[in-house]
Amino acid sequence: MSQKNGIEDGKPGFVYMVECSDGTLYTGWTTDAERRVEMHNQGQGAKYTRSRLPVTLVYLEKIRGKSEGLRREAAIKKLRRKQKEQLICSAYNLLGSRE
């Protein structure tokens, strides 16, 4: 297992989407989704979300490690809004259907 910045590549984690207060969606990856959303809401998350608080977790997908997480995050970020909404309503969402 490779390790960089204290994060093991093989350590399970999550790709997530939060909905910002302005209705936009932000995608990221983390090993602790609850802590990460809390950080966003405290203004310590991504620069993008700091001016769009509060954020609400709308999508959570389990991943096998950092490499997979970064690839999946990039793939989701390339999706159109409608495709992201379909993903949020899909069986891949650990939070359950959002229809």
Residue-wise pLDDT tens for the chain (99 aa)? 444 444 455 678 999 999 999 999 999 999 999 999 999 999 998 999 999 999 999 999 999 999 999 999 999 999 999 999 999 999 989 998 555
Using a 10 angstrom Cβ sphere, with 0-12 exposed, 13-18 middle and 19 or more buried, the burial of residue 14 is buried
Split into its structural domains, the chain has a count of: 1
The CATH number linked to 34 is 3.40.1440.10
* Residue 4: predicted pLDDT: 47
Judge whether 73 lies within some domain.
yes
Q: Tell me how long the chain is.
A: 99
Q: How many CB atoms lie within 10 A of CB 43?
A: 11
pTM: 0.85
Parent domain of 67: 11-88
Judge whether 69 lies within some domain.
yes
